[in-house]
């Protein structure tokens, strides 16, 4: 097990709950003699001048572990910027669902103590790399831990496109768009769109149509190493948007190509020893407990 001597702290600067939890975390880590580096935005929000602060690149290069305090969105943002540095992330939940940030604020000291003692589970999650190509040139793109979504933007209007997987034509479609999701994102927007729940260990990608104009269109699960290409229809009246994890936005033109594939760097996510994916699903999604309970 890795030994964590220098820990970076990331969170939601505008959240009082996150900042309070970060202050508790700082006090605890200092009592353990751990070197702490704050994210620049967090340092400003806390008014903390005694501890060193740094940008995401420096955190990724110098820290043994980064603890993210916030919701799943905070961890998604940290994952996109830090995965390439192979620094593991640990999430403390100060959001709503908390599929990725699975330590509760009440358990911070106990659970972080276990992690520092080497008692934890390490899990690898892959991200998606997206690029939009116009007349042979890349005009934009982004990374996604959850999903890449092609949608009509502000206007409620069907879009037309063609789907290719590993160079093979799959179908043309008229719909509100398409969700291309990792196993991590299968419990997010893809689930709302009727996609399957995939275990995080699966090396697979799910493609979920959004309100397709045919009853025969269903989600497709493909190999995680697949090369996915979406050709935006030449006769679209809408200009489809490409969104990665709800953040990076690229507006396409008719005739553009959207290329999606797995990134080479994986996110290393740390969980407490008692982490159980199915228990998380039961708790967060309201699944039934054991009979008689």
Set out the domains of the chain in order of their start, with CATH numbers.
6-120+272-285 (3.40.50.10330), 127-264 (2.60.200.30)
DSSP state of 103: B
Looking at the chain, the whole-number percentage of residues with pLDDT higher than 70 is 98
The set of catalytic residues is: 72
- Using CA atoms, how far apart are residues 134 and 146, in angstroms rounded to an integer? 25
**Selected residue with higher pLDDT from 146 and 285:** 146
The tens digit of pLDDT for each residue in 42-55 reads: 998 888 768 999 99
Strands 147-151 and 53-54: unpaired
Sheet holding 248-251, edge to edge: 220-223, 204-210, 177-181, 147-151, 241-244, 248-251
pTM: 0.93
Is residue 108 predicted with pLDDT exceeding 60? yes
User: Per mean pLDDT, which range of 64-68, 106-110, 225-229, 267-271 is the poorest?
Assistant: 106-110
User: Per mean pLDDT, which range of 48-52, 159-163, 210-214, 240-244 is the poorest?
Assistant: 48-52
Is residue 116 predicted with pLDDT exceeding 70? yes
Q: How many helices (H) and strands (E) does the chain have?
A: 7, 17
Beta strands in 20-136 (DSSP E): 35-39, 53-54, 65-70, 89-93, 121-134
- Using CA atoms, how far apart are residues 93 and 28, in angstroms rounded to an integer? 17
How confident is the model over 228-243, as a mean pLDDT?
92
The tens digit of pLDDT for each residue in 180-221 reads: 999 999 999 999 999 999 999 999 999 999 999 888 899 999
How confident is the model over 12-41, as a mean pLDDT?
91
**Selected residue with higher pLDDT from 104 and 128:** 128
- For residue 166, the model assigns a pLDDT of 98
Looking at the chain, the whole-number percentage of residues with pLDDT higher than 90 is 75
Confidence tier at 175 by pLDDT (50, 70, 90): very high
The tens digit of pLDDT for each residue in 221-235 reads: 999 999 999 999 998
Q: What is the mean pLDDT of the chain?
A: 92
Longest CA–CA separation in the chain, Å: 63
Cα distances from 88 to residues 6, 125, 146, 212, in angstroms, run 12, 11, 17, 39
- For residue 180, the model assigns a pLDDT of 98
Q: Which residues pair with 121 in a beta bridge?
A: 271
Phi, psi at residue 48, to the nearest 5°?
-90, 110
How confident is the model over 133-147, as a mean pLDDT?
97
Q: Which residue in the block uniquely carries the two structure tokens 């699966």?
A: 202
**Selected residue with higher pLDDT from 118 and 97:** 118
Confidence tier at 2 by pLDDT (50, 70, 90): low
b vs e for 8-42, b when ≥16 Cβ sit within 10 Å of the residue's Cβ?
Answer: bbbbbbebeebbebbeebbeebeeeebbbbbbebb
- Using CA atoms, how far apart are residues 27 and 113, in angstroms rounded to an integer? 13
């Amino acid at each position: 097990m890795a030994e964590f001597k220098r820990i970076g702290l990331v969170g939601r600067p505008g959240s009082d709950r996150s900042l309070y939890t970060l202050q508790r975390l700082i006090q605890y880590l200092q009592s353990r003699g751990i070197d702490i580096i704050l994210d620049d935005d967090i340092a400003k929000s806390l008014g903390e001048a005694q501890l060193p602060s740094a940008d995401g690149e420096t955190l990724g290069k110098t820290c043994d572990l980064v603890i993210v305090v916030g919701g799943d969105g905070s961890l998604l943002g940290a994952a996109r910027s830090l995965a390439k540095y192979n620094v593991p992330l640990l999430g403390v939940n100060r959001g709503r669902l908390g599929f990725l940030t699975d330590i509760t604020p009440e358990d911070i000291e106990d659970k972080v103590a276990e992690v520092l003692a080497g008692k934890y589970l390490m899990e690898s999650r892959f991200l998606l790399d997206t690029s939009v190509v116009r007349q042979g040139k890349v005009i934009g793109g982004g990374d996604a831990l959850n999903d890449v979504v092609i949608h009509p933007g502000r206007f409620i209007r069907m879009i037309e496109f063609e789907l290719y997987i590993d160079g093979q034509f799959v179908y043309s479609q008229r719909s509100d768009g398409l969700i291309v999701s990792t196993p991590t994102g299968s419990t997010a927007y893809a689930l709302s769109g009727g996609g399957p729940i995939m275990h995080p260990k699966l090396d697979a990608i799910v493609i979920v149509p959004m309100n397709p104009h045919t009853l025969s269109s269903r989600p497709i699960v493909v190999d995680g190493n697949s090369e996915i290409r979406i050709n935006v229809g030449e006769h679209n009246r809408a200009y489809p948007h490409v969104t990665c994890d709800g953040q990076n936005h690229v507006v396409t033109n008719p005739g553009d190509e959207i290329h999606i594939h797995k990134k080479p760097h994986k996110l290393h996510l740390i969980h407490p020893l008692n982490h159980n994916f199915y228990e998380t699903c039961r708790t967060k999604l309201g699944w039934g407990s054991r009979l008689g309970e």
